[in-house]
Structure 1
């Protein structure tokens, strides 16, 4: 009889040891899986950004993911070593934890912005005849529209079929190390791919931002006996519709119809991330 409590005690300890071992294995496996996912994500961000840069696209929405990707890979490969070295430097270790917390909070703000953007994308089909459409620029590569800009131009061409008499204003100046202005490339694309006559197209070839796209276009509207109060369609990418509409209203455009073009999947998160900073800077600079 006295042996039974000992046997039961041994069995309980064995079960407890097995449970602890199992939990340890689960924790180790989960940790390994999480680290693998984080490393893969970092590698994808880095390679995706690198490919876009090699194709001539350089902006904050591409550079930042590259830096984040490098940071995630370094975190996975060296975090344990860093944590070990920081044990004797509590103040630096605290800053390290703050930095990780700050990054997570920033990442949450980006996700919230993306959800807000997706929910509030403006796409207003004109309910009455438009007098003009403003096609906002989005970059050129090797004297050809980027995929995002091509989507905007295709959307404008489709709209032109409904309103063939509407003036099409293509906007965008000469970028760094570029031979032609963005507006010239846009006009050429519409004429050759969609067979739109040059007489229906006006070029605003001086601007370098959305704000200037809209501001400089007002002089062209005036030349064609139109004004910001005329029925005007603004054609831009889906992620850009909210900011473009807000800037237009701030500049006095009254009867606008924001028509969105889809963002190619291959550059979607880069473009949306760039818009995160553009939206923030526009708010700080009181553009809308």
Structure 2
């Protein structure tokens, strides 16, 4: 039983964290640690079993990550080229391609370190591997918990549905990504309206330098053209970032009703980071995600993870420094 104590401990921390506020990134890390310790405990238990099946399982579990890394690298590179064809040559669209190539570089560096008689190369390879493992662990925590967060059923008794903007096509038209958010917001509105208490829907988005009108106005027009009641729409047309979307929408809701409750709508790849930001901006509500094209998801999710990592830059820099020190002095 003692072997499973760390896993149980971190599962309890996860449960307490979710109960306190499910929008914390620490919940994702606790859950990742719980599953990691549970996996080690199960492997140790199997290792004590004297059977061919147990040995086969242990060997498969040890070899699977190596094969998985190569397969993942290939999939990311293929997705990167697809993103370039469909979305154009922008840095955000290169992320999956760069990550796939980065994995191959780390593997090549490790192989070179085992073949070459160079202590310096060994230290470089070891440090790179430790740092890559750390960020890989955080990324798995992020996508795993983000998936679970997206499966949570949003509450139905809210005062507001807040739909976050995401840019316009040609400066005036709602793109498919934003239309997906608006349709999810409309569905949440209609579900509650059917119970006799329709919320207000806030379209949140200001006017960018390449846009001819504020995003919130185009979003409202999209909804009303499809039969949505105009008198149930509130415009928030000052924001330029997700943080401002949430902050300015909170100000509107608080001014009208200090005890408001809301649900925020964005795309599924963006939902967990938006939830983290909603907590930081003291927004009283959870975040719901809308569907996203499958090819767009990898790069978008990587971009969201990078943003969350930068938000917690000091703790990540500290951990990276400690890992580098351990590698250099080891």
Which TM-score applies when normalising by structure 1? 0.67
With over 3 angstroms needed to count, the CA separation of the structure-2 counterparts of 1:124 and 1:228, relative to structure 1, is farther
1:200 matched to 2:232: yes
1:154 to 171, 183, 186: 183
How many angstroms apart in 2 are the aligned matches of 1:214 and 1:104? 33
The equivalent of 1:220 in structure 2 is 252
The equivalent of 2:77 in structure 1 is 43
Deviation at 1:57, TM superposition (A): 6.6
1:103 matched to 2:132: yes
Q: What does 1:22-37 correspond to in 2, within 5 Å?
A: 37=71
Question: Which ranges in structure 1 are unaligned for 5 or more consecutive residues?
Answer: 1-32
Deviations 1:174-224 (A, max 9, x none): 3353333322332222122x32233322222221222211211234336xx
1:234 to 261, 264, 287: 264
1:131 matched to 2:131: no
The equivalent of 2:44 in structure 1 is none
With over 3 angstroms needed to count, the CA separation of the structure-2 counterparts of 1:81 and 1:257, relative to structure 1, is closer
The equivalent of 1:166 in structure 2 is 199
Deviation at 1:148, TM superposition (A): 3.4
For the 8 Å contact 2:162–2:262, the answer to whether it is kept is yes
For the 8 Å contact 2:173–2:218, the answer to whether it is kept is yes
How many angstroms apart in 2 are the aligned matches of 1:154 and 1:146? 12
How many angstroms apart in 1 are the aligned matches of 2:72 and 2:294? 22
Deviation at 1:162, TM superposition (A): 3.4
With over 3 angstroms needed to count, the CA separation of the structure-2 counterparts of 1:221 and 1:117, relative to structure 1, is closer
Per the alignment, in what secondary structure is the counterpart of residue 288 of structure 2? strand
1:63 to 78, 94, 106: 94
Could you say which structure has the higher helix fraction? 2
The equivalent of 2:241 in structure 1 is 209
How many angstroms apart in 2 are the aligned matches of 1:82 and 1:177? 48
The equivalent of 1:248 in structure 2 is 278
Deviation at 1:244, TM superposition (A): 3.2
For the 8 Å contact 1:121–1:239, the answer to whether it is kept is no
Question: Which ranges in structure 2 are unaligned for 5 or more consecutive residues?
Answer: 1-66, 315-330
With over 3 angstroms needed to count, the CA separation of the structure-2 counterparts of 1:131 and 1:267, relative to structure 1, is same
Deviation at 1:272, TM superposition (A): 2.0
Which segment is superposed worse, 173-182 or 211-220? 173-182
For the 8 Å contact 1:42–1:71, the answer to whether it is kept is no
How many angstroms apart in 2 are the aligned matches of 1:281 and 1:90? 32
Deviations 1:115-140 (A, max 9, x none): 12212336444343x33211122343
Per the alignment, in what secondary structure is the counterpart of residue 270 of structure 1? helix
For the 8 Å contact 1:229–1:252, the answer to whether it is kept is no
Q: In terms of Rg, which structure is larger?
A: 1
For the 8 Å contact 2:110–2:125, the answer to whether it is kept is no
With over 3 angstroms needed to count, the CA separation of the structure-2 counterparts of 1:207 and 1:57, relative to structure 1, is farther
How many angstroms apart in 1 are the aligned matches of 2:289 and 2:69? 38
Structural RMSD (CA) = 3.7
Deviation at 1:169, TM superposition (A): 1.0
Aligned length: 244
How many angstroms apart in 1 are the aligned matches of 2:270 and 2:73? 31
Deviation at 1:52, TM superposition (A): 4.6
Which segment is superposed worse, 240-249 or 148-157? 240-249
For the 8 Å contact 1:218–1:228, the answer to whether it is kept is no
